[in-house]
Amino acid sequence: MTGSKNTITQYNTASTPITEQSHYNNTNSLTALTIEISNTNHEYLKKFLPVLLSHLQSLAATQGDQNPVLHRLHSHFLSLKEEIEMHIQKEELIIFPRIKELEKFYTGQSGKVIFSPTFLQAPATLMEQEHQQIEKTLSVIKELSNQYTPPPGACTSFEHTFSLLQTFEKNLLHHIEVENKILFPKALILFKKCQAMA
C-alpha cells in the first residue's frame, strides 16, 4: 500500500507528463515527437492506470455500501484502463513506427513506406475514433464522480483519489489533443509530400 501511495504522489506532482502544447507544436521531428509521447504520456499511463484502479477498487471495497457509485466508478475505470492499454499498444506497434519510416523516407534514409491509404490515413482515423471512445468513457467517470467532487465528510483517501482522477483526466485530454491536432495532421502532410517525391 505504501508503494502505491508513493507512486501516486510521484505521478501527481513532479512527474506529471503534461507539456505545453506549443512545445509539441514547435517540434520539427515527428520521430522525436513519437518518442516523447511514448516516453512521457504512455509511460505515465502504463504506470499510473493500475495504481489509480487499485485506489478505486479499495474505495469501492471499503465504502461501496455507503456510496454505491464507487462500484460503478471502479467498473468504468477498469473499462477505461483496458481501452487505453490496447490503444497505446496499437500506437506504439503500428502508427508510430510508420511515422518514423515516413520521416526516414523524407530525409533520404531508406524508409519503408507504402503509398496507400492503409499505411497512415486508415490507422490515424482509427486512432482518432478510439480517442473519441476513450473521451466518452472518461466523461461517464467525470459525471459519476460529480466532476471529481467528493461527498461531504469524505475521508482523505476518497478526496485524494478524486483529486488524482482529475489530474489524470487533464493529462489524458492533453495527450489526445497533441496526437489529434499535431502529430497525426503533421504526419498526413508529410505522407503527401513523400508521395509527391516518390
Q: Which residues bind Fe ion (CB under 5 A)?
A: 91, 179
Q: Which is nearer to Fe ion, 36 or 91 (CB)?
A: 91
The helix/strand/coil state of 165 is helix
Rounded least distance, CB 135 to Fe ion, Å: 11
Rounded least distance, CB 92 to Fe ion, Å: 8
Q: 97 exposed, middle or buried (CB, 10 Å; 0-12, 13-18, 19+)?
A: middle
* Helix then strand then coil, % of the chain, to nearest 5: 80, 0, 20
Q: Which is nearer to Fe ion, 76 or 175 (CB)?
A: 175
Rounded least distance, CB 126 to Fe ion, Å: 10
78 CB contacts (<8 Å, ≥6 apart)? 53
**Whole-angstrom Cα distance, residue 81 to residue 173?**
15
Rounded least distance, CB 97 to Fe ion, Å: 14
Q: Which is nearer to Fe ion, 122 or 155 (CB)?
A: 122
Q: Which is nearer to Fe ion, 91 or 101 (CB)?
A: 91
